[in-house]
């Protein structure tokens, strides 16, 4: 039989069967791949307008999004315009050069975007970047 030696107890085993270990690793890999699809965060469906130049420093900003049905999201959680202004007013009090990235669906009327930007500026945040896709 493979793996057993016919001589005494002092003889070393020359090979190790790694097939069971490989099977276990492959099963774990499949489990992680399948469950990773279920752990995705719920995303906000926004159709961004296109532009030639895109700012590379957007990762250090506070994300504000406007969906095509008019909902406003602050860092991924839904809010309204008054709560957004109050939150930004509190944040800008201790974050002096706070920057907002506003992602708005391309189908939203310009007036709604301008109103939201006005509320953001009224809250004390003067650095607003508009998020676009290339």
Q: Is residue 96 part of a domain?
A: yes
Tens digits of residue pLDDT in 60-77 = 678 888 888 888 888 888
Instruction: List % helix, strand, coil for the chain (3-state, nearest 5).
Output: 35, 15, 45
Q: Read off the CATH number of the domain in which 115 is found.
A: 3.30.420.270
Q: Is residue 127 part of a domain?
A: yes
Q: Give the model's confidence band at 25: pLDDT under 50 very low, under 70 low, under 90 confident, else very high.
A: very high
Domain residues for 116?
61-132
6's tokens: 């016919």
Q: Is residue 114 part of a domain?
A: yes
Q: Give the model's confidence band at 95: pLDDT under 50 very low, under 70 low, under 90 confident, else very high.
A: confident
Q: Is residue 56 part of a domain?
A: no
Instruction: Please state, in angstroms and as integers, the Cα–Cα distance from residue 111 to each residue in 68, 91, 108, following that order.
Output: 13, 25, 8
Q: Is residue 55 part of a domain?
A: no
7's tokens: 């001589």
Q: What is the pLDDT of residue 58?
A: 47
* Structural domain total, the chain: 1
**Cβ(48)–Cβ(58) under 8 Å?**
no
Does the model's pTM come out above 0.75?
no
Measured from the Cβ of residue 84, the count of other Cβ atoms closer than 10 Å reads: 19
Judged by average pLDDT, the poorest of 20-24, 38-42, 95-99, 120-124 is: 38-42
Apex 27 CA angle, 22 and 28, nearest 5: 100
Instruction: Please state, in angstroms and as integers, the Cα–Cα distance from residue 90 to each residue in 12, 32, 48, 52, 114, following that order.
Output: 70, 40, 28, 34, 21
């Amino acid at each position: 039989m493979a793996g057993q030696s016919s001589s005494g107890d002092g003889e070393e085993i020359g090979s190790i069967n790694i097939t069971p270990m490989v099977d276990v690793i492959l099963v774990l890999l499949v489990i992680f791949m399948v469950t990773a699809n279920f752990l995705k965060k719920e995303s906000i469906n926004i159709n961004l307008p296109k532009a030639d130049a895109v700012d590379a420093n957007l990762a250090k900003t506070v994300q504000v999004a406007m969906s095509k049905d008019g909902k406003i999201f602050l860092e991924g959680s839904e809010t309204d315009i008054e709560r957004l202004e109050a939150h930004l007013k509190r944040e800008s009090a201790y974050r002096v050069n706070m920057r907002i990235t506003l992602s708005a669906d391309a189908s939203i009327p310009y007036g709604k975007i301008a109103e939201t930007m006005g509320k953001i500026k009224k809250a004390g945040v003067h650095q607003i970047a508009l998020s676009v896709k290339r």
